[in-house]
Structure 1
Amino acid sequence: MDSQEQQAEFQYDTGGETTGPMAGFDEQKAREGARLLLEAVGRNPDEAGIYDTWNRRVPEMLETLTEGTRHEAKPVMRTFEAETDSLVVKTGIPLHSMCEHHMLPFDGVAHVAYRPDEEMVGLSKLIRYVRWQSRQLTTQEALTNDIATGLAEELGARGVAVEVTATHMCEVMRGVETSTETTTREQAGTFSEADRDQFREAIRRHGTTSDGH
């Protein structure tokens, strides 16, 4: 297949406008793809109990789990005047995402810290933002960076730090078939050593509380 044929494969009709695969969610293509996958593993797509799998359930699931690629799904990060310039830390944010290599989930927790400049945001918005960013096919490394740089831009913060610890089902269910944790860290803006120490201590306390000690 030459480059022109490959490009044509990724183009579809959007009312006269030619776009690429990231233009938005295509429900019809999701149905077709799910049906083909069922056929590939030897299942009859039209049998009882399977028809709705490809015709409704998988497309609806994929639309939800890829919201992070669509700006209109981003939570409104309504800010207010900063009441402090102290470090704001939110630990233990549930995180669920999808590995772009195997299309299997990875999940764990995210810890977020930021030092406000002129504006702050409600703590619940940090949870919503992490959830939105997580809903895409990605890698843990890229997701950690997306959360850090995205929050820094949204909040105009002096500095943002993010730590993510997750277990990958592509390791648990295939490959090494072992459940392990992977930790990634990213920083945007300026963070002092004192800020980093405070962030690490907050994460340590969260781990101690989670372990019940």
Structure 2
Amino acid sequence: MDSQEQQAEFQYDTGGETTGPMAGFDEQKAREGARLLLEAVGRNPDEAGVYDTWYRRVPAMLETLTEGTRHEEKPVMRTFEAETDSLVVKTSIPLHSMCEHHLLPFDGVAHVAYRPDEEMVGLSKLIRYVRWQSRQLTTQEALTHDIATGLAEELNAGGVTVEVTATHMCEVMRGVETATETTTRAEAGSLTDADREQFRESVRRHSASAATR
């Protein structure tokens, strides 16, 4: 059987719905892949309680968790005239992403700081931007870099620094089966040693406060 015949056979009844790519996301392929995975682990994809897993739930989940690959999903980063040229630091931004190597999540926190040039952005936008960047298949190292360089470009900032600390379920659930934390850092633009020390001190204060809760 050639590849065209295999593709022709690999069509499932979708109840007459029209399926296909949606804003860069291919719902039909997601259904087909999820159904195959269920079959691979010995489950009947048409049994009660599992049919909706491949037909509806997994595609919807994947569409949400890959929003970071679609520019139209990026939050609007409305800026206003800078009121200061001092470093702006936002600590403990929740971060949830997906490891591209094992398709398992990693989660933790991101600490972000930037030195405004002529414009600033609302603090909530930093949270939304980190969440958007995180919604893709990636690595922690790449994600940290993408947040730093992306924010520098979005804000035309003089400098940006980002630190991410996360626990990877690909280590917790398989491999060494141990929960540890991994920390990565990235910079974009130009920061002074005083900026870096201010950022580190903010992160230290956050960590000390979290430890006493």
Normalising by structure 1, we get a TM-score of: 0.89
Deviation at residue 209 of structure 1 after TM alignment: 1.0
**2:33 aligned residue:** 33
Partner Cα distance (1:60, 1:29) in 2: 12
Deviation at residue 82 of structure 1 after TM alignment: 0.2
Paired residue secondary structure (2:86): coil
Deviation at residue 86 of structure 1 after TM alignment: 0.5
**1:76 aligned residue:** 76
**1:91 aligned residue:** 91
Partner Cα distance (2:66, 2:36) in 1: 20
Give the residue type in structure 2 aligned to 1:187.
Answer: E
Q: How does 1:104-183 map to 2 (within 5 A)?
A: 104-183=104-183
Give the residue type in structure 2 aligned to 1:130.
Answer: V
Partner Cα distance (1:86, 1:192) in 2: 11
Give the residue type in structure 2 aligned to 1:84.
Answer: T
Give the residue type in structure 2 aligned to 1:38.
Answer: L
Deviation at residue 212 of structure 1 after TM alignment: 1.6
**1:200 aligned residue:** 200
Partner Cα distance (1:57, 1:96) in 2: 19
Identity of aligned residues (%): 85
Paired residue secondary structure (1:62): helix
Q: List structure 1 segments (4+ residues) > 6 angstroms apart after TM superposition.
A: none
Partner Cα distance (2:32, 2:210) in 1: 43
Partner Cα distance (1:86, 1:197) in 2: 13
Partner Cα distance (1:212, 1:175) in 2: 31
Give the residue type in structure 2 aligned to 1:75.
Answer: P
**1:62 aligned residue:** 62
Partner Cα distance (1:131, 1:211) in 2: 24
Partner Cα distance (1:37, 1:193) in 2: 50
Q: Where in structure 1 are there 5+ consecutive unaligned residues?
A: 10-20
Deviation at residue 24 of structure 1 after TM alignment: 1.5
Paired residue secondary structure (2:25): coil
2:211 pairs with 1:211: yes
Partner Cα distance (2:41, 2:25) in 1: 25
2:24 pairs with 1:46: no
**1:16 aligned residue:** none
Encode CA deviations 1:148-180: one digit per residue, 9 max, x unaligned.
000000000000000000000000000010100
Paired residue secondary structure (1:35): helix
Encode CA deviations 1:118-139: one digit per residue, 9 max, x unaligned.
0000000000000000000000
Encode CA deviations 1:63-112: one digit per residue, 9 max, x unaligned.
00000000000000000000000100000000000000000000000000
Give the residue type in structure 2 aligned to 1:205.
Answer: R
The CA RMSD over aligned residues, in Å, is 1.4
Partner Cα distance (2:147, 2:110) in 1: 10
Paired residue secondary structure (1:75): coil
Partner Cα distance (1:57, 1:211) in 2: 37
Deviation at residue 59 of structure 1 after TM alignment: 0.2
Give the residue type in structure 2 aligned to 1:99.
Answer: C
Paired residue secondary structure (1:177): coil
Give the residue type in structure 1 aligned to 2:72.
Answer: E
Give the residue type in structure 1 aligned to 2:174.
Answer: R
Q: How many residues align?
A: 194
